[in-house]
Amino acid sequence: MASTSTAAAPKSTDPLEPALLIEGAQTDASLNASLFDHVWTAPGKGWWGLFGIALMGLAMLGIGLTYTLYKGIGAWGNNIPVGWAYDIINFVWWIGIGHAGTLISAILLLLQQKWRTSINRFAEAMTLFAVMCALLFPLFHTGRPWFAAYWLLPYPSVNGIWPQFKSPLVWDVFAVSTYFTISLLFWFLGLIPDLASLRDSSKSPTKRMIYGIFAMGWRGSGRHWAEYKWSYLLLAGLSTPLVLSVHTIVSFDFATSVLPGWHTTIFPPYFVAGAVFSGFAMVLSWMVPARHFLGLKHVVTMKHLENMNKVILATGMMVSYGYVMEHFIAWYSGNPYEFAVFFKVRQRGPFAPIYWLMVFCNVVVPQIFWSKKARTNILIMWIAALLVNVGMWCERFVIIVTSLHRDFLPSKWELYAPTWVDWSIYIGTIGLFSTLFLLFLKFVPAVAATEVKELRHEMAHHAHGATAAGEAHG
């Protein structure tokens, strides 16, 4: 769509020359034009096609949830002992996907990683939508969501009862709602200067007014920037421990129980690593097509993609280490139930194919990123990212279903199979996510233009300062 004067950046063949974060000769005005281009132009056929598919997915969500409300939770495949199944698998999967957004925007900001600038907006939006999808599952698992507020929140009802705050499920409520709120505020705060740019570069009065309302009268004031920078930094500082705490608390749902396969202290770090792993894979799955179709190749360069692949490799190794340790402790503890779950039920039981698919996707596939060729090949990285998404879903399935369906008493053992309602809701949330994401790509700049301009200014200053002996810098 966007074809600015930047398409053909000179490719350096010198391996020692660092790859560029912003390609081509850019000015603030050209960045403004190219980064907002996809907001101003009408969406193409590709966007409408994807949007149509996404809406079909959304319809499936509507059908699945309506049927659940009409029939009750019995419409799902859950049984006793597998009382938790797709609802919690998908909840954990979506929450994990959201974590990459916070990691990219907050942790990489604190670590002053410059390459975060072009992808943070994109990833933060993904966080928001992923958490929305995640929240649907526990909410509907209560069966009567309209009563959920009474059970979950400390609401002063006439019954005079309060939530049991020693339960990790109540911690979850607070953790996930805090996570959603803080992510939303952080995202919107970062968006305000860009909304002001959109207001000021809009051509029609209606668009100017709409973006003007959301820009809240931002005028780039130096006095405002001084406080704004602190606010943004502190929100990043608060998000960093928050993101670690959220998946830690999600893992407590399992780790504080006594079920073999769940009752383990490695869960919190292993869940967080898995979350970042799956989240980066999801960012990559969307970023690869988006940078092509939105004309963002000059700011989302091969260096960004390569760095993301390196993070996938690193977190993939952490996840693999988690698997190895789980199995080692199951053997080393001498606990027969733990041993049975890890070495018999998971590897050779009825759900063994899912276990081996998990091992393939999460342990074997990321190893391809040791090779620079694979890290810089668009098709390979895209397929690998999709496989990692599949693998992480399988991991949650393996943890939840295999542990539940074979616990201590053989007389309690039962197989699990999802129903069409389970599938419909799961695919439906993918539809919801895609719908929201496509709308985001249409109405909001996918790349934080203000931050890219700042980065360009900084890099130009550094290059300039090197020759002019940095006289202007105090």
Question: Where does this chain bind other proteins (CB under 8 A)?
Answer: 27-29, 32, 154, 160-166, 168, 170-171, 174-175, 178, 181-182, 185-186, 188-189, 193, 196-197, 199-201, 212-213, 216-231, 234-235, 238-239, 241-242, 245, 249, 252, 450-451, 453-454, 457, 472, 474
Note whether 368 and 380 are within 8 A (CB). yes
N residues, the chain? 474
Cα–Cα distance between 117 and 16 in angstroms, integer? Answer: 23
Residue number with CB closer to other proteins (145 or 163): 163
Q: Which two tokens stand for residue 363?
A: 């342990």
Residue number with CB closer to other proteins (85 or 250): 250
Give 93-147 as a DSSP string: HHHHHHHHHHIIIIIHHHTT-GGGTTTHHHHHHHHHHHHHHHHHHHHHHTS-HHH
Instruction: For the CB of residue 353, give the shortest distance to other proteins in the complex, in Å.
Output: 36
Instruction: For the CB of residue 181, give the shortest distance to other proteins in the complex, in Å.
Output: 6
Instruction: For the CB of residue 201, give the shortest distance to other proteins in the complex, in Å.
Output: 6
Cα–Cα distance between 407 and 403 in angstroms, integer? Answer: 6
Instruction: For the CB of residue 207, give the shortest distance to other proteins in the complex, in Å.
Output: 13
Instruction: For the CB of residue 161, give the shortest distance to other proteins in the complex, in Å.
Output: 6
Residue number with CB closer to other proteins (398 or 448): 448
Instruction: For the CB of residue 107, give the shortest distance to other proteins in the complex, in Å.
Output: 15
Residue number with CB closer to other proteins (91 or 232): 232
Cα–Cα distance between 388 and 347 in angstroms, integer? Answer: 20
Note whether 361 and 391 are within 8 A (CB). yes
Residue number with CB closer to other proteins (201 or 376): 201
Residue number with CB closer to other proteins (168 or 349): 168
Tokens 């006095």 correspond to what residue?
A: 223
Instruction: For the CB of residue 35, give the shortest distance to other proteins in the complex, in Å.
Output: 11
Instruction: Indicate the DSSP class of residue 19.
Output: P
Cα–Cα distance between 13 and 21 in angstroms, integer? Answer: 16
The rounded radius of gyration (Å) of the Cα atoms in the chain is 24
Residue number with CB closer to other proteins (201 or 419): 201
Cα–Cα distance between 229 and 432 in angstroms, integer? Answer: 33
